[in-house]
Structure 1
């Protein structure tokens, strides 16, 4: 896609600090990292969100995400990683990307920054589970 910055990175017309480049995707440093070493992993083809990635591409893409999630702590000495993706809401670039953020206990990142809500009852929770389950078949 011509106006997609991530497609530009794939094509080589937009500079990036690449950490990995495979047929399944590319990993590069986020220009505004949560912590230094924050990597974005993207598929080579333009897909806007996770649900647009074809089933045959999922295994390779997530193997790449998994490999980056293993490499970040090994390379940087962090204790682990935070792996996340947004789909449409809060997605700053409309090209599927997975964040792999180095984490160390006491690093100052405090969980999620949105309010949590309880279900009113077990019945309400069961209703939500049933509705989602029906969509999954």
Structure 2
């Protein structure tokens, strides 16, 4: 497989690995957005969250939970981001959770600043998506 994250997991490519669990691994991002930018990934190649089995999901988010206090200690605030698929902005098709230390001088903004505008939905459209998404 030609996945850079799979090569990091198999130690074919060096990385600054911070911690490793049964199903997950985390390391410093090679192209950080801010100082201390961390990636947490599953060891098995999965493109999206919904492809993880329950054990992998629990392990991945337990590692995110473990690392968030460490990352948050850098600036006191951390962006947690997942691009769940190519259309959502995922550049490497291997699920990865970004832990990005944030502060007021980093030029990043809130999630709504990623989009040109918010959409306006009619009551019937809101009802449609409500019914589509509720469990």
Question: Normalising to structure 1: TM-score of the pair?
Answer: 0.86
Alignment partner of 1:94 is 2:85: no
Could you list the runs of 5+ residues in structure 1 that have no partner in the other structure? none
1:79 match: 76
1:58 match: 57
**CA-to-partner distance for each residue in 1:107-130, whole Å, 9 max, x for gaps?**
321123213423333332122111
Could you list the runs of 5+ residues in structure 2 that have no partner in the other structure? none
**CA-to-partner distance for each residue in 1:81-104, whole Å, 9 max, x for gaps?**
100111222211111100000012
2:68 match: 69
> Contact (CA 8 Å) 1:119, 1:125: kept in 2 or not?
no
> Contact (CA 8 Å) 2:21, 2:59: kept in 1 or not?
no
Structure whose residues are more often helix by fraction: 2
Report the RMSD for the aligned CA atoms in angstroms. Answer: 1.5
Query: How do 1:1-137 residues align onto structure 2 when only pairs under 5 Å count?
Result: 2-74=1-73, 76=74, 78-89=75-86, 90-112=89-111, 113-133=114-134, 136=135
Q: Helix, strand or coil: the match of 1:41?
A: strand
